[in-house]
Amino acid sequence: MNAQRLDFQTTKTAARSSGFPAGDQPALGKRANLRPSNNNSNIRYDTRRLQSAAIKARMLSEHRSRLCGCVPVPKRGAVQIHIDTASGTCRYVSLYHCASATACPVCAATVRARRAQEIIYAGKRMIQEGFTYVSATLTAAHGPCTKLHEFIKQFNDAARKMKSGRAWQAFAGRWAVRYSIRTVDTTDDAPGTDPAARSGWHYHFHIIFFLEKHHLTENEAQKMESELADMWINALGRVGLSASRANGVAVDLPHLSVGVSGADAIKPLAQYVAKNVAWEMTGQDTKIGRMDRRISIWGMQRLALTSHPELLPRLDEYIRAMRGIAWMTWTQGLKHFVGLDELSDAELLEGAVATPIYTLTQADLTAVARQAGQRKLLEAAEAGGLEGIRAALAAAHAGHDILIGEPWLPPA
Ligand SMILES: [Zn+2]
pLDDT one digit per residue (tens) for the chain, 412 residues: 456 667 665 433 333 333 333 333 233 333 333 344 567 888 899 999 999 999 999 999 999 999 999 999 988 889 999 999 888 999 999 999 999 999 999 999 999 989 999 999 999 999 999 999 999 999 999 999 999 999 999 999 999 999 998 999 999 999 999 999 999 999 999 998 999 999 999 999 999 999 999 999 999 999 999 999 999 999 999 999 999 988 899 999 987 777 777 778 888 888 888 875 544 444 434 444 445 788 889 999 999 999 999 999 999 999 999 999 999 999 999 999 999 998 999 888 887 778 999 999 999 999 999 999 999 999 999 999 999 999 999 999 999 999 888 888 887 6
Any residues with CB less than 8 A from the CB of 256 and at least 6 apart, and which?
215, 262, 265
Neighbours of 288 (CB within 10 A): 16
Q: Could you tell me the distance, in angstroms and rounded to a whole number, from the CA of residue 210 to the centre of ligand 1?
A: 31
Residue type, 139: T
Q: What is the pLDDT of residue 20?
A: 30
Q: Could you tell me the distance, in angstroms and rounded to a whole number, from the CA of residue 125 to the centre of ligand 1?
A: 31
Q: Could you tell me the distance, in angstroms and rounded to a whole number, from the CA of residue 98 to the centre of ligand 1?
A: 4
Q: What are the backbone dihedrals phi and psi of residue 107, each rounded to the nearest 5 degrees, phi first?
A: -70, -40
Q: What is the pLDDT of residue 277?
A: 53
What residues does the ion ligand 1 have nearby, CB within 5 Å?
65, 68, 98, 104, 106-107
Q: Could you tell me the distance, in angstroms and rounded to a whole number, from the CA of residue 259 to the centre of ligand 1?
A: 39
Q: Could you tell me the distance, in angstroms and rounded to a whole number, from the CA of residue 66 to the centre of ligand 1?
A: 8
Q: What is the pLDDT of residue 5?
A: 64
Q: Are 248 and 139 in contact (CB under 8 A)?
A: yes
Q: Could you tell me the distance, in angstroms and rounded to a whole number, from the CA of residue 374 to the centre of ligand 1?
A: 12
Q: What is the pLDDT of residue 8?
A: 63
pTM for this prediction:
0.85
Neighbours of 180 (CB within 10 A): 19
Q: Are 403 and 384 in contact (CB under 8 A)?
A: no
Q: Are 106 and 66 in contact (CB under 8 A)?
A: no
Domain ranges of the chain: 12-99+350-397, 108-280+290-297+324-341
Q: Which helix (H) or strand (E) holds 133?
A: strand 132-138
Q: What is the pLDDT of residue 287?
A: 43
* Nearest alpha-carbon partner for 123 in 5, 256, 263: 263
| Spatial separation of the C-alpha atoms in residues 49 and 34, rounded to whole Å | 26
Q: Could you tell me the distance, in angstroms and rounded to a whole number, from the CA of residue 50 to the centre of ligand 1?
A: 13
Residues found in the chain: 412
Residue type, 252: D
Q: Angle at Cα 28 formed by Cα 23 and Cα 30, nearest 5°?
A: 160
Q: Could you tell me the distance, in angstroms and rounded to a whole number, from the CA of residue 167 to the centre of ligand 1?
A: 40
Look at residue 166 and give its three-state secondary structure. helix
Q: Angle at Cα 322 formed by Cα 187 and Cα 337, nearest 5°?
A: 95
Q: What is the pLDDT of residue 19?
A: 32
Q: Could you tell me the distance, in angstroms and rounded to a whole number, from the CA of residue 93 to the centre of ligand 1?
A: 15
Q: Could you tell me the distance, in angstroms and rounded to a whole number, from the CA of residue 69 to the centre of ligand 1?
A: 7
Q: What is the pLDDT of residue 272?
A: 83
Q: Are 186 and 201 in contact (CB under 8 A)?
A: yes
Pairing mode of beta strands 177-189, 202-211? antiparallel
Q: Are 365 and 79 in contact (CB under 8 A)?
A: yes
Q: What is the pLDDT of residue 288?
A: 44
Q: Which strands make up the sheet holding 80-84, listed edge to edge?
A: 89-93, 80-84, 355-359
Q: Are 265 and 273 in contact (CB under 8 A)?
A: no
| Spatial separation of the C-alpha atoms in residues 410 and 402, rounded to whole Å | 12
Neighbours of 30 (CB within 10 A): 10
Q: Could you tell me the distance, in angstroms and rounded to a whole number, from the CA of residue 375 to the centre of ligand 1?
A: 13
Look at residue 274 and give its three-state secondary structure. helix
Q: Residue 310 has what DSSP assignment?
A: G
